[in-house]
Amino acid sequence: MGKRATAFLFALILILGAGCAAETREAVAAQAIAQTPTQTVTQTDGRQTPTVTRTPAIVVDPYQPYTHEMMVSDAHELAQMYPQYLQIDSIGSSVERRDLTLIKMGSGEKKLLLVGAHHAREYISSTYLMNTIDKYLYAAARGEEFGGYDIDALLSAVTVYIVPMINPDGVNLVINGIDSVIGSEVVKSMLMVKSDFAEWKANINGVDLNRQYPCFWEEKASDIREPASELFKGYSSASEPEVIALMALCENNEFAIAVSFHTKGEIIYWADSGSMGNIPSAQRVADAVAKVSGYANVSPSKEPEVYGAGFENWFRQEYSRPGLLVELTPGDGTSTPHDNALFDDIVWEDAKYIAAVLMQQALQREE
């Protein structure tokens, strides 16, 4: 065979070999795509779309100030990662039109409600709820228990409704400062109970959301009678969009238990004279949370001017079911936000099993 024929044959072999390699790579890629687990998800408009199920991974970074934008982004990433466990919804909008995100975790018949950040400077409660979702679903998707709790089994029996940040405008002010507020001049004109916007507690209308609910609202004591950084209960009960939205959520769902998370105290408010004796299971639920966290149950308040207008008080009065307020962190003698870098020590170490215990309690027969 001549040199020209040999060269031609060699070139032909290279071309054919490259074609076979390309076909092989395409075949391997096609096989990999075919083997990628998918799940058909029904959208709110009735369409069905295949969703790629991502490998479980830790999403939430709890060691930095947790903004509304971070929360929304993490929520949607978790929903994409765990479509079999998680749905994202909304209960409405805040004063500045931020979404009041609702996360539904699980598929069970019983319903449990968890709410964070009624008070702006207590945004670490939002971090706590999002970290709970993250860690629980990571374990459930891998077929692992979390601290001895079978999260997958619990979520097949209970649906946990989570509103991680009911006061996103206030949280934005605390973390990002007054220049980030849409109506900054109006906010600047409000009464400052504390000197620093980093200690702001109210919503952006200057109303303390946990003094807004129609449960002994008239009796609720307050020396603050105008919009302020904290303590102003509003000119009327349930005037704020955040409160209206959360009340509507409760009215449209039969929650077995509702819990609002706050900070500083490591205590549990679980009863008051307005509902005492009407909820036999309230003591049992409070004791279970106290046992798993080490937090102390507070003696039931007998004074409406003290306990009135709070979310948990309203929930107990309205539905005769257990409603708790859990103060997550140690008191430090200040009203400034905690350093999120300390999250594990001041929050997670004690509170990581609270949601699991609440799911168990939601499944207990009402007494």
DSSP code, position 365: P
Whole-angstrom CA distances from 152 to 82, 95, 140, 159, 360 are 12, 37, 5, 11, 12
Query: What is the distance between the terminal CA atoms of the chain, rounded to a whole angstrom?
Result: 97
User: What are the tokens at 57?
Assistant: 């991974």
Catalytic choice (269, 307, 319, 353)? 307
Total residue count of the chain as it appears in this document: 367
- CB-based burial label for 84 (10 Å; 0-12, 13-18, 19+): middle
Q: Is 199 a catalytic residue?
A: no
Cβ-based neighbour number of residue 83 at 10 Å: 17
Give the active site residue among 96, 240, 242, 327: 327
d(CA 278, CA 301): 15
Q: How far apart are CA 159 and CA 163, in angstroms?
A: 13
Q: Residue 94 is inside which H or E element, if any?
A: none
Q: What is the rounded CA–CA span in Å between residue 209 and residue 103?
A: 21
Strands in the chain per DSSP E: 38-42, 48-52, 86-93, 99-105, 110-116, 158-163, 257-262, 267-269, 296-297, 323-327
**For residue 206, how many C-alpha atoms fall within 13 Å in the half-sphere facing its CB?**
20
Is 138 annotated in the active site?
A: no
Q: Which two tokens stand for residue 328?
A: 């997550």
CA distances in angstroms from 140 to 88, 153, 154, 347, listed in the order given: 18, 8, 10, 22
Q: Which sequence positions are flagged as catalytic?
A: 307, 327
